[in-house]
Amino acid sequence: THFTSPIRRYADVIVHRQLLASMSVSVDGCRADYADLPRLAEHMNGKKRDADHAQKESMALFQTLYFQSVPADSDACVTTVIVYHILRNGLKVYSPRFGLNGPLYLQNKDGLVVQRASLDSDQPVFGSGCVTPNKTSSTVDGVLSSLTFSLFDHLKVRIELVPSDLHPPSLRYHLVSCDPVVATATSTTRAAATDSASDMARFNPVKALSQTGEKGTSNHGGSSSGTHAQASVQPGMSADELSWRQTPESSSLYHLLLKMQKLALKPAD
């Protein structure tokens, strides 16, 4: 329950009625019986879990659609992540810009580890070596270099959408630079933190997907991506439909089923 929330959730109403009843204040016979409280609590908790699951799945859907709409080699897929956990063969990272978290593997399925392409390069490649993790850092010893990644390091990664025939598409993180992103001064650190926070607050996968479609429409000069984006914008769409890409009632399966339901409820002639 959100007891002090101004939004009157049903759980809050139940709690307030119980308190009023305990103070002998009339609640017009709305006080729930003690035997009914466990059933009501279980029902409300289940609906809360369903809402959380629906929100999570909705965000995952639009994040997938967003990364599908941009080229894999686009700068839009490159972002800075923060290391927050050490794994046996990699790191757990968080992206403030996209609000995503996931594993960044330092060792692939073939047993090869991340290392510098050359002594004077920060470009990562996979080669022979080993990963030595501990509680606060992970050291990768390769043929040409030794790299150490610590908790709260800022790393530059590319996010890639990986399709699957059996499961929904997943997001995979690839290291772009072997060197952590380091601020040179406190003011720079604060500015970077502010930028990251504003990026996270600003980024909305639904709106970003909509803007990507609008760009494809305006630059459709014969390109297949532009033609696809242009086809997705139907004429006569309202402002809400243009903003959130809601399906018009004339093309919505949901509204068709509602019409069928109404027809089924009508008495036969």
Rounded mean pLDDT of 213-233? 47
Give the tens place of pLDDT for each residue, 197-206. Answer: 444 444 666 6
Top-confidence residue, 265 or 228: 265
What per-residue confidence (pLDDT) applies to 266?
Answer: 61
**pLDDT tens digit sequence for 151-190:** 999 999 999 988 888 888 888 999 999 998 875 444 444 4
Which pLDDT does position 219 carry in this prediction? 52
| The predicted structure's pLDDT at residue 210 | 60
What's the pLDDT score for residue 224?
A: 43
212-219 long-range contacts, CB within 8 A, separation 24+: 212/66, 212/69, 212/70, 213/69, 213/245, 216/69
Q: Are 119 and 41 in contact (CB under 8 A)?
A: no
pLDDT the model gives residue 41:
84
d(CA 228, CA 226): 5
Residue 16 clears pLDDT 80, i.e. is over it? no
Q: Which of 88, 81, 85, 89 is nearest to 113 (CA)?
A: 89
User: Does the pLDDT of residue 217 top 80, yes or no?
Assistant: no
Which of 33-37, 69-73, 135-139 has the weakest average pLDDT? 33-37
- The most confident of the ranges 57-66, 119-128, 245-254 is 119-128
Residue 168 corresponds to which tokens in the numbers above? 């929904």
Tokens of 110: 């073939």
Going by their DSSP bridges, the two strands 100-105 and 90-95 should be labelled as antiparallel
Provide the pLDDT confidence category of residue 222 given band limits of 50, 70 and 90.
very low
Per-residue pLDDT at 229: 41
pTM of the model: 0.58
pLDDT band at 7 (very low <50, low <70, confident <90, very high): low
The mean pLDDT value of the chain amounts to: 75
Query: What average pLDDT does this structure show over 145-150?
Result: 91
Non-local CB neighbours of 267 within 8 Å, separated by 6+ positions: none
Is the predicted pLDDT of residue 233 greater than 70, yes or no? no
Evaluate whether 207 touches 103 at the Cβ level (below 8 Å). Answer: no
pLDDT at position 61: 83
Say how far apart CA 31 and CA 84 lie, in whole Å.
47
Q: What is the pLDDT of residues 103-145, one digit of tens each?
A: 999 999 999 999 998 888 889 999 999 999 999 999 999 988 8
Task: Determine contact, residues 148/137, Cβ cutoff 8 Å.
Answer: yes
Quote the pLDDT of residue 149. 94
Q: What is the pLDDT of residue 64?
A: 85
**Whole-number pLDDT of residue 240:** 57
Q: What is the pLDDT of residue 98?
A: 86
Q: What was the pLDDT predicted at 2?
A: 62
| pLDDT over 90 percentage in the chain | 28
Q: How far, in Å, CA of 15 to CA of 24, rounded?
A: 14
